[in-house]
Amino acid sequence: MSLRKLVIVMLSLMIMAPVYAADGMEEKVGRVYDFSGSRTEQIGLTIRYKLKTEPEVFFKGIHVPVRVLFAKVDADINWGHTSKVATIKKKGKRLVITQNKNYAPSEDEVLWPREWAIVEDGMTKISLPYLAYIFDRYAKHSEGAEASKWKEALLFLGIEHMDNLDSSPKDKTLHSFVTFK
């Protein structure tokens, strides 16, 4: 290969590099789901556990209360009033949701990112699009990708998969169906 061709190839790769740069979860989830509220105004949540499907429940915005999401699952859900820490404990592991940036999780804990949750009206709520992206039934997350790592870390919660139907153009709703094992 001539020096000229090599330089052209190298320049092309440098120009195209941003296209192949790894995106963070925020960017990836943001490309799939509307966080602005301009298109999606509510979440319609349906939970299936032990072959029983609960009626769809609606929540304004993109956040779903932890207690509602895990209410029917065999898990211990706790709220530390003084520590402001919500936990979901199952199979000896705990998912920890807190706005405390200094919280240091123990070995048996998975710390949910502060940016993916809110405390509102006295309830801890998670941003459902992140969970929907991680457990999407048809998503093919590559090995080593952040979504794959999250899915592996959260398997103890018993989420088998999630099906999501974005009917925002029709009714401004993201319908999310969570199936627990």
pLDDT tens-digit readout, 128-163: 999 999 999 999 999 999 999 999 999 999 999 999
Within 8 A by CB and 6+ apart from 90, the residues are 73, 74, 75, 76, 156, 157, 158
Is residue 19's pLDDT more than 50?
no
pLDDT recorded at residue 20: 37
Residue 119 phi, psi (nearest 5)? -115, 120
Provide the pLDDT confidence category of residue 165 given band limits of 50, 70 and 90.
very high
Residue 50 phi, psi (nearest 5)? 50, 45
Is residue 31's pLDDT more than 50?
yes
Residue with tokens 């092309």: 12
pTM of the model: 0.83
- The SS3 call for residue 101 is coil
Provide the pLDDT confidence category of residue 30 given band limits of 50, 70 and 90.
very high
pLDDT tens-digit readout, 36-95: 888 999 999 999 999 999 999 999 999 999 999 998 888 999 988 888 899 999 999 999
pLDDT tens-digit readout, 87-133: 999 999 999 999 999 999 999 999 999 999 999 988 999 999 999 99
